[in-house]
Chain A
Amino acid sequence: MTATTLAKEASSPPVASAARTRRTRRRGRIVALLFVLPALLLLGALVVYPVLFSVGRSFFDASGTRFVGGGNYAEMFRDPATLKAIRNTAIWVVVAPALLTGLGLILAVLVEKVRWATAFKLLLFMPMAVSFLAAGIIFRLAYDEDPNKGVLNAAVVSVHDTFEGTSSYPTARARQGEGLVQGRDGSYTTGDGVSPGASVTLPMVGVLPKDLPGSAAPAYAAAGRKPAPDELRGVVYLDFTPGGGGRLGKVDRRESGLPGMKVEAVRDGRTVASTTTASDGSFRFTKLASGTYTVKLPAANFAPPYQGVSWLGPALVTPAIIGAYLWIWTGFAMVLIGAGLSTLPRDALEAARMDGANEWQIFRRITVPLLAPVLTVVFVTLVINVMKVFDLVYIIAPGPVQEDATVLATQMWLVSFGGGNNQGLGSALGVLLLVLVIPAMVFNVRRFRRSQR
């Protein structure tokens, strides 16, 4: 402002003024350059030089002395780990920003209508204050496969168990080679047929003495009892003498019965009778017609406990990490979109309402189109952000699945410093990452320019 007024005042003598204007302009340019210089120097030293250096370095081998041309780039696309990293980065870029922008939009619109909007926004924004490292450690725990450690699996397992129930002897299995045959479904049957008037012993192993029900009693006496002619008797027992020394397949004195075990008598493939063992592991089927039966311990006795979902297994690890990322960034998207929302012209919304549009129509036809510039900014910013995601992937993915979760940034670090010690190849990966980020950057800069005009 001051410069222009000065120029106007000095415009009276025409010849001298032209020279003076030129001088002021030149001086202005020098001053401007002086002001820009520190920034330029810093940018040059911290951004331009490293970028150029990396590009140069990517043409050399691991030791940095031998020129290999495009060798690193060829190697990069031959290495399955890098290909996986490219694939995962693509998944991240496609899924995470879209989900985040959508979630942010929905939450922003909804939050506008609740009473405690600020408190709610604060709550959602809070994860932004948590560092990626801490968030990674939190989610590593939350996703833990052991239901006693991971809160997610604890929830899944408790829901599952309410509906399905658990089996009484999940660890038990039959003593091998002592007459019991395992069926395809996990049940056990006596290999040879038995007839009424006989007694069978069904030896099981793999149950800790402390896991036995409190009522369990030694099976020795029951095993010796004589059956009536129309009766099929037997005992299901733990064929293991604590401290060793028991005979295999025989009921020794100190060996315990397994109470509460379901037992079925099967004839010609049909279950004709079923019962549950008593506290000494004994069972009996009475009034059986003569013939040949097999005794079956159904699989329900041995169903292994439900272990929940393996969140950090090779298949789910990337979606799981994206979930953690959502937790951190949703607040950011919501607040930005919320700010855009509050600047929307109210009259347009009011007018639509007066014309009888319902809320859904208003949302789709008015709110979203008017918000489009903000949504694009959020989306593009997130795309750039997602490209460089590193800490979450590095921390959450356990060693065995690290390669299944790897993205370009982690791969770059691993190859150059995390053991590979090949900074040539690492630089090539860095250049690839740069090339991928540039379009988003250009787009963002263009948008800035346009909105400033």
Chain B
Amino acid sequence: MMRRRTTLLTGCTALALALGATACGGGPVSAGGGDKALSGQTVTVAGVWSGSEQKNFQKVLDAFTEKTGAKTQFVSTGDNVSTVVGSKIEGGNAPDVVMVPQVGVLQQFAKKGWLKPLSATTQQSVDADYAPVWKKYGSVDGTLYGLYFKAAHKSTVWYSPDALTQAGVKAPKTYDEMLKAGHTVSDSGLAAFAVAGQDGWTLTDWFENVYLSQAGPEKYDALAAHQLKWTDPSVVKALTTLGKLFKDKQLIAGGQKEALNTDFPGSVEKVFGPKPEAGMVYEGDFVAGVAHDQFGKSIGKDANFFPFPAVDGGTAPVVSGGDAAVVLKDGKNAKAGMKLLEYLATPEAAAVWAKAGGFLSPNKKLDLASYGDDVTRATAKSLVGAGDSVRFDMSDQAPAAFGGTKGTGEWKLLQDFLRDPSNPKATAAALEAAAAKAYQG
């Protein structure tokens, strides 16, 4: 008995030690090669990434180390960057560089006076190599604080090539063509779209694409800033357009009721899983990741995408998002941090991650050949090609109470709209009421 307890104790200690070791892992990485102008300094970078994203970003940091000699350390913050970074600043342990995932957070940091304006070198790179819209989303009150290093493309409709060939339809160019193609797919026996209604954010993305293409970027910006009311006729029109798809039982796998019971991974499974129920699923470039990792589909062969089609003669929308790198004033090595940003602004840095996969760069100078596969290359091309008409995810720009909370605000109201799309006007009014409340707070 005694013996057993001792072994158990030893085991526990070993486990605790091992855990401790992992927790302390990811420490400074030593240098090798390069001109070593910054050797002896350690740049701390905080960001939401974990898992494979963190691993791939580490490759970029390693390349920076090789070049300059500065050591780097990545701290994963989990989902809530602003809280973590805020408490670190208060605790006198601020990271030098933060990768900020939302425009709202970047503005919040800038307003609190935490950020250093970007150096002239970085500004020049941004002016020369990025579409102006990226500069706009990185600036607050005319000062550039954020460099968009990684971007997401949220205007991609993913489909199973088998299903579309079976139905004999081609990738549509307009929204109406898409609905028509959807009906043909449905005639072939497979529902057209899998809609993830249980996750409100997929519905906001649907709406944003339709709205951006139909109402145009100016109105989109005004609505995102809530200078335009949600009761505006353009919103009602976009909702009506979206309702055409939502209310059609032939177009949605299992009808509205089942759509409301489907979460995002579930909707991908409905198209790319072992028992396909639908031919297409709309969401961002990350659908490819799920289809590949969870369902073993080879991207490009078993899964492909077409850009979200243009609505009512507008241009095809490109809704995007991204992680911006910012430099904190309170960081111990803010200067070296600034050098890191200068490096991140180069196509060279973007190429490192592009090769590893799961990455899009808004940098025009990045050679498309750097991407590992054709589908990612096509997404990147569409993103860079859209140039200045790229718009950021509207719900990410809104206060969280309106655009980012399960069970309330825009998420909930669009779910109600999916359940009963018969009255777009009432939905618009409800959206305006919720928005008015959230934006005032």
Contacts and interface: CB of A to CB of B under 8 A. Distances in A.
Interface stretch (B9-17, B149-157, B397-405): B397-405
B418 to A, nearest CB: 8
Nearest to A398: B198
A239 B408 CA distance: 45
Interface string B218-260: 0000000000000000000000000000000010000001101
Contacts of B186: 205-206
Contacts of A240: 187-189
A303 to B, nearest CB: 15
Interface of A: 62, 81, 144-146, 171, 173, 175, 205-209, 211, 239-245, 310, 312, 397-400, 402-403, 406, 414, 418-422
Nearest to A410: B407
A243 B198 contact: no
Contacts of A245: 168
B419 A400 contact: yes
A244 B441 contact: no
B391 interface: no
Nearest to B187: A205
Interface stretch (B138-146, B343-351, B409-417): B409-417
B22 interface: no
Given A244-B168, A419-B404, A400 B188 contact: no
Given A244-B168, A244-B169, A245-B168, A171 B189 contact: yes
A68 to B, nearest CB: 12
Given A402-B406, A414-B405, 11 more contacts: A144-B261, A205-B189, A206-B186, A209-B166, A239-B187, A398-B261, A400-B197, A402-B412, A403-B408, A419-B404, A422-B401
B60 interface: no
Given A211-B189, A244-B167, A421-B441, A399 B184 contact: no
B188 A208 contact: yes
A403 B408 CA distance: 7
B199 interface: yes
A241 B168 contact: yes
B198 A400 contact: yes
Contact of B405 (A62, A206, A312, A420): A420
B412 A208 contact: no
24 contacts: A145-B258, A175-B187, A205-B186, A205-B187, A206-B187, A207-B189, A209-B189, A240-B188, A241-B168, A243-B165, A312-B261, A398-B198, A398-B260, A399-B198, A399-B199, A400-B407, A406-B407, A414-B405, A418-B405, A419-B404, A419-B409, A420-B441, A421-B400, A422-B441
Nearest to B407: A402
B437 to A, nearest CB: 9
Nearest to B406: A399
Interface in B326-372: none
Contact of A243 (B166, B260, B409): B166
A337 B418 CA distance: 48
B189 A400 contact: no
- Counting from the closest, the 7 A-B pairs by CB-CB distance are A244-B168, A419-B405, A402-B407, A208-B189, A205-B187, A400-B415, A419-B400
Interface in B158-188: 165-169, 184, 186-188
Contacts of B419: 400
Contacts of B167: 244
A414 to B, nearest CB: 7
B187 A208 contact: no
Nearest to B200: A399
B190 interface: yes
Nearest to A150: B261
Nearest to A175: B187
A310 B197 CA distance: 15
Contacts of A398: 198, 260-261
Contacts of A400: 197-198, 200, 260, 407, 412, 415-416, 419
Given A145-B261, A245-B168, A400-B197, A420 B187 contact: no
Given A310-B257, A400-B415, A400-B419, A242 B405 contact: no
Contacts of A312: 261
Contacts of A243: 165-166, 168
Nearest to A81: B408
Contacts of A205: 186-189
A403 B441 contact: no
Interface in B408-441: 408-409, 411-412, 415-416, 419, 441
Contact of B184 (A173, A244, A397, A403): A244
B337 to A, nearest CB: 30
Interface string B178-222: 000000101111100000011110000000000000000000000
A142 to B, nearest CB: 14
A309 to B, nearest CB: 12
A209 to B, nearest CB: 7
Contacts of B197: 400
Nearest to B415: A400
Contact of A399 (B165, B168, B412, B441): B412
Nearest to B257: A310
Contacts of A310: 257, 261
Nearest to B201: A399
Nearest to A212: B189
Contacts of B169: 244
Nearest to A210: B189
Contacts of A421: 399-401, 441
Nearest to B411: A399
A114 to B, nearest CB: 36
Nearest to B404: A419
B371 to A, nearest CB: 32
B168 A403 contact: no
A81 B199 CA distance: 19
Contacts of B260: 398, 400
Contacts of B166: 209, 242-243
B441 A62 contact: yes
Contacts of A171: 189
A397 to B, nearest CB: 8
A334 B119 CA distance: 70
Given A62-B441, A206-B189, A403 B407 contact: yes
Contacts of A399: 198-200, 406-407, 411-412, 415
B201 to A, nearest CB: 10
B2 to A, nearest CB: 29
Nearest to B266: A146
B441 A146 contact: no
B168 A419 contact: no
A68 B188 CA distance: 61
Nearest to A314: B419
Contacts of B189: 171, 205-209, 211, 240
Contacts of A244: 167-169, 184
B188 A414 contact: no
A157 to B, nearest CB: 14
Nearest to B184: A244
A310 to B, nearest CB: 7
A398 B266 CA distance: 14
B311 to A, nearest CB: 25
Given A243-B168, A244-B184, A419 B401 contact: yes
A82 to B, nearest CB: 12
Nearest to A399: B406
